[in-house]
Amino acid sequence: MGKVAELSSASKNIIVRLRNRGTSYSNIANAVGTSKSTVYFTLKNYRTRGSTGSLPRSGRPRVTTGRVDKVIRRMSVSNPRLTACYDLRFPEMSLALRERGAEILTFPSAFTVSTGLAHWEVLLRARAIETQCYVIAAAQTGIHNSNRSSYGHAMIVDPWGRVIAQCREGTDVAVAKVDLEYLRKIRQEMPVHSHRRPDVYSLPCGHLQSFPRDDAEFQFGQVLIKGKMLFMRTSMSMAFVNKKCVLSGRILFLSPLNVLASPIREAKHLQDLTPMELQDLFTLVQRVQKVLGVVYSTQSFTVTVQDGPHAGQTIQHVHVHILPRKEGDLANNDDIYDRLEKHDKGHDIQWREEEEMVQECEHLRSIASSLYSIPS
C-alpha cells in the first residue's frame, strides 16, 4: 500500500495510536505494511482535519473554523443558539450564549454508546439548569459499521432541568412545547444569571503558569525565544527580556531593562488577536508593570505597540514594549518614540549577551514569584 486513500480505517487508526505513543515513522510503516510517506500524510490529514476516528479518505476538509456570531439565529418565537455535539461538554460556551440572549440551546450530536450511557442526559440537563434555557438535542443513532455505534436518545429538556421529550431506541421523533412564559418565570424567581460574580471568578484568562524549561522554544515572529528568557506566562501570552534595550542603564541609573509581552500564538497585528487573547495579553502587561515597578521603584511606564512596518515593527509578531520611566531619563519625554524606532535597526547593533539576559530573567522571576502565585 502506498497511498492514504488505499488504507483501511483500522490501519489509519493504528497509525494515529502508534504515533501518539511515540513510535517512529519507520516502525509504524513496518507495522501497517505501508511507506513512511503514507504514514506522514495520514497523520497530516488527521491533524489538519481534526478527525478522532476514521480519517477522511478524500475530498474537501470536513472541519472548518467558525465564528461565535455564526451561532445566532433569529426566530419569531424565541432566540435559539446553535451548537453541536462536543460543545455540550463546555459550560462556558453555553453560558456565553445565554449572555447573548439565548432562550433555546441546540446540540445535534453523535455520542458513542459508551459516552452516551455515562454522560448524555447528565450534560444536557446540566446545560439547561445552569443557563435556564430549553435544550433541544437531536442525536444520531444505530450501528454504522463494525467500529462505530451511536447512542441516540434525542431529547428536549426544559429550563428547570426536566426531560420533557425523549426518543425511544432506534429512529424516532420527539415533540415538546416551548413555553417562553415558563422560562421567564423560572429566570425571575431564581435570577442566578444576575447573581454571577465575574469580579470574584472569571471564565476568561490570565492565570499564570509555571516557568518553562530552559530548552523550551517559543516562536516570536522570525526568531525563537528560549524558555530561560521568559519570566511570566499564561496559556495565551508570554513576557520575556529583550535582546536590545531601548533605554540603556546609564540613562536609567540601573542595569538595562526593557521587556516585551506578546501572545504565544503567532499573530502579526493587534487586530489579529481574539478578544480573549487581547484581554489576556494586557492583563499580563499589567502584572509585568507591577514587577518592574518593584525593581525600579517607579509607577511611570511607557507601554507601546509598534503595529506594522511603518510603525517601526521589525519582528512580525505583535508585541508590547513595557519601559519603566524615571524623571529625567530623557531630555525630552517624547524622545522615547525615536529610541523605539531606531533601537534595533542598523548595521552596528550591539546585542546583549545571553548570560546577562538570563541573569536578568532570573531576577525578574524571583520578583514575580514574590508578588504572584506561580505554580512550580
Length of the chain: 376
Is 347 an active-site residue? no
* Helix extents (H) in 74-216: 91-99, 113-115, 121-131, 180-189
Tell me how far apart the terminal alpha carbons of the chain are, to the nearest angstrom: 48
Give the distance from CA 297 to its chain's centroid. 35
DSSP assignment string, 61-84: -S-----GGGGB---SS--EEE--
Give the SS3 label for residue 372: coil
Phi first, then psi: what are they for 106, rounded to 5°? -115, 140
Q: Would the annotation count 20 as a binding residue?
A: no
Task: Return the amino acid letter for 335.
Answer: D
Residue 245 is which amino acid? Answer: C
* 269 annotated ligand binder: no
Strands (E), 307-355: 320-324
C-alpha torsion sign, points 346, 348, 353, 357: negative
Q: What is the CA radius of gyration of the chain?
A: 27
Set 119, 144, 207, 319: catalytic member: 319
Is 242 annotated in a binding site? The answer is yes
Contact 227, 271 (CB under 8 A): no
Residue matched to cell numbers 510603525: 311
Q: C-alpha cell of 198?
A: 465575574
Backbone φ and ψ for 81, nearest 5 degrees, come out as -130, 130
User: What's the rounded Cα separation, in Å, for the pair 265 and 317?
Assistant: 9
345 phi/psi in degrees, rounded to 5: -125, 155
The residues annotated with a catalytic role in the active site are: 319
Residue positions forming the annotated binding site for substrate: 242, 306, 321
